[in-house]
Structure 1
Amino acid sequence: MQKVCHHELRNAFRALLANPACYHTASVFDPLSARIAADLGFEVGILGGSVASLQVLAAPDIALITLSEFAEQATRIGRVACLPVIADADHGYGNALNAMRTVIELERAGVAALTLEDTLLPAQFGRKSYELISIEEGVGKLLAAQEVRDDKALAIIARTHAGVQPLADVVHRTRAYQDAGADGICLVGVKDFAHLEAITDELHVPLMLVTYGNPDLRDDTRLAELGVRIVVDGHAAYFAAIKATYDSLREQRGIAVGNGLTSSELVAQYTAPDDYIAWARKYMNVKE
């Protein structure tokens, strides 16, 4: 069994951040997928919070998974991964003190980096389902996370949603996270290159971009010139696995597969999102 050196993998990830190139993540969700990604030459993998929620709970990505459940999955991957893995640590599973615990557990699990987002999670009673915490609270989480990091090579990346804020607010927020010592900024919801340029004009830390295949952001050379080092296209590998499982089991039962349901339709069918939405409205008065 090959011994994994987590410190070396963290240094390898920092080398990616320092290199003027753009790297696309492999979606890794278990030890085998991590080995496959490394063997195929991927430079970096990512364990998505949404993927972990599906795999562990068969539940939508609505902050139901706990830190211990997520860390267990990260640990399984960390035992064998020969490529740096980024952990999508959501909101740090609570406040700044919870974020400290999150860093401790995920560092022990062997991840090379983790993202901490400023989304208000879980949804609050009587509030919209997607809101952000204050900049001050986001900065506090970042500072707390850095304090408990034992291996200084572990990268802590601040994540924010650029698609739900006015541009001026995104700029102000990302500057504050940069000043707080974030090793990188992760942006979600960027519309196009003009939007990205306006946000990153004064950012000097490495950038991570969650594009979900946005066709208006498909130019790695231009992304690299703007400081983007890591691109997350989505988690197609895991969704393909869901689809393959469904089709294989249908065939085993003698049920015609045909075109069948898409992976997104399968997720919607088997995670019961409508039930969760109804419960949130009924018991929490959550607004859409």
Structure 2
Amino acid sequence: MSLTRTRRLRQALAGERALMAPGVVDAMYARLVAEAGFEAMYMTGAGTSATRLGYPDVGLLTMTEMVDNATRIADASDLPLIADADNGFGGPLNVRRAIQLYERGGVAAVHLEDQVLPKRCGHLSGKQLISAEDMVAKVKAAVDARVDPDFVVIARTDALALHGRNAAFDRAEMYREAGADVIFIESPLPDDLPHIAPRFPGIPLLYNMATSGKTPFLTRSEIEALGFKLIIYPNWLLLSACEAARKTLEVLKREETIASVAPHVMSFKQFFDTARMAEVQELEARYGTPENSRTDY
């Protein structure tokens, strides 16, 4: 009997190596991460907002929009999915519903943050926090709401940038005592990093390799040495794709032909292979007729 995605995530977090989870924004990126051989993936809230709305991560997406995106991503790959759940989209009862919906959608873990509504990306300025006690209530609600005991609840605090290390650590300790499975201290600077793991022995820690550059771009081994067990890379794939798309558009505008770009992009066949055309064709052959089951693509 194969292990569930939640159980595999739990086992990975208990392993010796830090778990790397590239950020994805849709089902196709999930396929690419699986093809590349990673063991987990992360649904980025900022990337979801950018791709679905064309707006930054400032709390504009609703719970159902975020859950819908997470469900589509989880359905596209058997990899454990860690998903951004913002601040739980309201109070403890909203958090309960969010956890239930994410879990039903096939997500293996979510992280909740202690920001007010509307929230902001953790690496933007202008953040505001709810009280630590209110966040404790949300963490407890999240833990109570899960059906699968292996579903992972990650508690994030944004207090470091606003109130300093001691305040962030105090909050994180309260969230651990409330039942969080993983602690996520957002936006640590290089001077903060050596102090985090010694303060929180016995619980997995999350390292956010965001693109802002506030937290340093360390190697997996360097992050492991600092005591972190989970590394998320939120928007690197999306930013890579956007830059490639911009260059393609520049060439098309300038040359008025796509000919010089064609040798440098994924081939037609590679694209449909990643989209699992072979699986579709097998099903067509099983249920369809010979004329709609051709393999010459």
Task: Give TM-score, length-normalised by structure 2.
Answer: 0.77
Determine if the alignment matches structure 1 residue 228 to structure 2 residue 225.
Answer: no
Where does structure 2 lack aligned partners over 5 or more consecutive residues? 258-297
Aligned-partner Cα distance in 1 for 2:140–2:89: 16
Offset from partner CA, 1:172-194 (integer Å, 9 cap, x none): 111111111101001211112x4
Given candidates 28, 37, 55, the residue that maps to 2:24 is 28
- Larger Rg, first or second structure (1 or 2): 2
**2:238 is matched with which residue?**
238
Is the contact made by 1:103 and 1:149 (CA closer than 8 Å) also made in structure 2? yes
Aligned-partner Cα distance in 2 for 1:218–1:251: 34
Aligned-partner Cα distance in 2 for 1:97–1:105: 13
SS of alignment partner, residue 163 of structure 1: helix
Percent identity over paired residues: 31
Runs of 4 or more off by more than 4 Å in structure 1? 213-217, 253-257
How far 1:211 moved relative to its partner?
3.0
How far 1:115 moved relative to its partner?
0.2
Q: How large is the Cα RMSD of the aligned pairs? A: 2.3
Report how many residues are paired.
248
How far 1:77 moved relative to its partner?
1.0
Task: Give TM-score, length-normalised by structure 1.
Answer: 0.79
Is the contact made by 1:49 and 1:90 (CA closer than 8 Å) also made in structure 2? yes
Letter in 2 for 1:97: L
Offset from partner CA, 1:178-231 (integer Å, 9 cap, x none): 111101001211112x41232332312100011326574625334324431111
Letter in 2 for 1:186: F
SS of alignment partner, residue 16 of structure 1: helix
Taking a change above 3 Å as real, the CA distance of residues 219 and 251 of structure 1, as seen in their structure-2 partners, is closer
Letter in 1 for 2:98: T
**2:163 is matched with which residue?**
165
How far 1:108 moved relative to its partner?
1.2
Taking a change above 3 Å as real, the CA distance of residues 255 and 221 of structure 1, as seen in their structure-2 partners, is same
Letter in 1 for 2:174: A
Letter in 2 for 1:229: K
How far 1:160 moved relative to its partner?
1.2
Instruction: Summarize the alignment of residues 1-288 of structure 1 with structure 2, pairs less than 5 Å apart.
Output: 8-122=4-118, 129-161=126-158, 162-192=160-190, 194-203=191-200, 204-212=202-210, 214=213, 216=216, 218-254=218-254
Where does structure 1 lack aligned partners over 5 or more consecutive residues? 258-288
SS of alignment partner, residue 10 of structure 1: helix
